[in-house]
Amino acid sequence: MSFEKRKMDGASVFDRRAFFRFAGTLAAASWMPLNTWADESPANPQAGWPLTVKFPEKGDLLLQSDRPPNLESPLHVFRDDITPNENFYVRWHLGILPTKVDTATFRLTIAGHVDVPLSVSVDDLKRNFEAVSMIAVNQCSGNSRSLYEPRMPGVQWGSGAMGNAKWTGVRLRDLLAKTGVKPGAVDVSFNGLDEPVLPAAPGFAGTPDFVKSLPFARANDGEVMVAYEMNGQPLPMLNGFPLRLIVPGWYATYWVKALNQIEVLDKPFDGFWVAKAYRVPNTPDFQEAPKALAKDTVPISRMTVRSLFVRPEPAEKVLADVEYEVQGLAMDSGRGMKTVEISLDGGNTWTDAKLDPELGKYSWRRWRFAWKPPAGRHQLKVRATNLAGETQTQAQWNRSGYARNVIESLEVNVG
């Protein structure tokens, strides 16, 4: 199936019919394997995943669902410090996605509690505002959800709902300054071009539009960006072409894609996707028990500290008595990594792994550990601690499978 995205007079054309024809073929092909997988519940979903798919502008990704597209990066992608655009995971909530955006007519508007509402094209942003770049991890709140026990509903991600990219765009603070925000701003809300198939309306329980908000202080901190480039290229359509919000250090749910409406609010935002969804227990490590759910919840925000194994891969053969470089990634909300430690004895003793140079405080950081294992079955554990003293937990569970910060284990067969 061929698929085309062409550039004409600055307009990006993404053929909607071809897109859904393509996705439709996948739907038929994927039904059985997905059911089979769900029934089997392999210990490592990535290893057992049967179906890789290619969506427009994307390389091979693991299919979680196709309407809307939820596509996971396979583990080998994380051998690169920067996740290539075509291998970057995809997550959407609503049924109607932008598959074609004409940048000649596209405008981002900023309105609400401001003196001068703003309406800007992508070219205006490039011409009239200072460009800034930042490497930052984008991680879904539900990344690694399938690793929790007991399982919970939601996209059954392995650990590939994350990626690290260099984002280029403008500071949201500069845009807000241009509008002259009035005193008393509380929140700022963000909406994109995607829409629910059956929108919620008074008296009708449809799907609420995907609108997110940030406290004004966060929105105006000079770090939050409106990005028009990802790794030096226009954003792929599925990652939010032509503009997306970047909220470094916070979960990707706030990184609104295909961003076209910003509103400054003089009272707290009460939209569904902040007031009702994407919330975590107001407890240490966002813990709660399946039979004693927390009463008090708060909107998810900063990322927890975590570290993951990248190699060996779960099914990889490692040779006995030969030095092998175990490798992985560590990340947090931007406090900076202090140590990453490895345990070879079930968590009794820990040895420092070596950290690669930092690529920026919001980037993930690669760690390496030289290992010369004897033959047999081994269990490795990895634990990260950041400069603020935040570290990982032995066990963690919450009803939504959000903000995982469990010390990960890896079983390795050496022979």
Token couple for 80: 């690169």
Please tell me whether residue 140 binds Mo ion under the rule CB under 5 A.
Answer: yes
Decide whether 278 or 369 has the Cβ nearer to ligand MTE: 278
Question: Should residue 253 be labelled a site residue for Mo ion when binding is judged by CB under 5 A?
Answer: yes
Q: Does 69 bind ligand MTE (CB under 6 A)?
A: no
Q: Pick from 6, 209, 12: which is nearest to 92 by CA?
A: 209
Contact by Cβ (8 Å): 79, 347: no
Q: Residues 127-166: x/- map of binding to ligand MTE (CB under 6 A)?
A: -----------x-x--------------------------
Please identify which residue in 194, 209, 223, 408 interacts with ligand MTE, judged by CB under 6 A.
194
Does position 326 bind ligand MTE by CB under 6 A?
A: no
Window 80-119: contact mask with Mo ion (x via CB under 5 A): -----------x----------------------------
Q: How far apart are CA 70 and CA 26, in angstroms?
A: 13
187 binds, among ligand MTE, Mo ion, none (CB under 5 to 8 A by kind): none
Residues 224-239: b if buried by 16+ CB within 10 A, e if exposed? bbbbbbbbeebbbbbb
Nearer to ligand MTE by Cβ, of 88 and 309: the residue is: 88
The tokens for 137 are 């991890």
Q: Is 241 left (phi over 0), alpha (psi -120 to 50) or beta?
A: beta
CB of 167 to ligand MTE, least distance (A): 11
| Nearer Cβ to ligand MTE (253/405) | 253
> Is the sign of the CA dihedral 67, 196, 256, 392 positive or negative?
negative
Residue ranges in 174-193 that form contacts with ligand MTE under rule CB under 6 A: 192
Pairing assessment for the beta strands 351-352 and 408-414 based on DSSP bridges: unpaired
> At its nearest, how many Å lie between ligand MTE and the CB of residue 389?
27
Q: Are 271 and 253 in contact (CB under 8 A)?
A: no
Give the separation between CA 73 and CA 90, rounded to whole angstroms.
9
The residues of the shown chain that bind Mo ion, judged by CB under 5 A, are: 91, 140-141, 253
The residues of the shown chain that bind ligand MTE, judged by CB under 6 A, are: 88-94, 138, 140, 192, 194, 210, 239-240, 252-253, 255-258
